[in-house]
Amino acid sequence: MANDPVILINAFEVPAGEDDKFLASWESSHDFLRTQPGYLSTRLHRSLAPNADFRYVNVARWESAEAFRAATAQPEFRAQTPPYRFHAALYEVIREDI
């Protein structure tokens, strides 16, 4: 549906023992993104097991793909890219039984 939010899902590969370093980087990016037009909300997930393929998964809601792309194209954001491999894409919810 055209007016539904889009969902950013970003899965981060963070080695064991680097939680504090990752979180400092993530908080910095989040502090910037939450000020941008179209930002709605974020949930940051940490794996129960320290050795998961993706130690952290960020799930954020944005008003539109255009708003997300405009925010992440800002030089202030691009200078903060976290020092970990990540897999980010925009999604729509296609099944839901909540």
Q: Which residues bind its own copies (CB under 8 A)?
A: 6-7, 9, 11, 26, 30, 34, 41-49, 52-54, 57, 59, 65, 87, 89-98
CB of 7 to its own copies, least distance (A): 6
Q: What span, in angstroms and rounded, lies between the C-alpha atoms of 29 and 79? A: 10
**CB of residue 54 to its own copies, shortest distance in Å:** 6
- Residues forming beta bridges with residue 10, ordered by sequence position: 58, 88
- For residue 97, what is the DSSP state? -
Pick the closer one to its own copies by CB: 49 or 75: 49
Tokens 């050795």, residue?
Answer: 51
Closer residue to its own copies, CB minimum distance, 29 or 77: 29
CA–CA separation, 31 and 38 (whole Å): 14
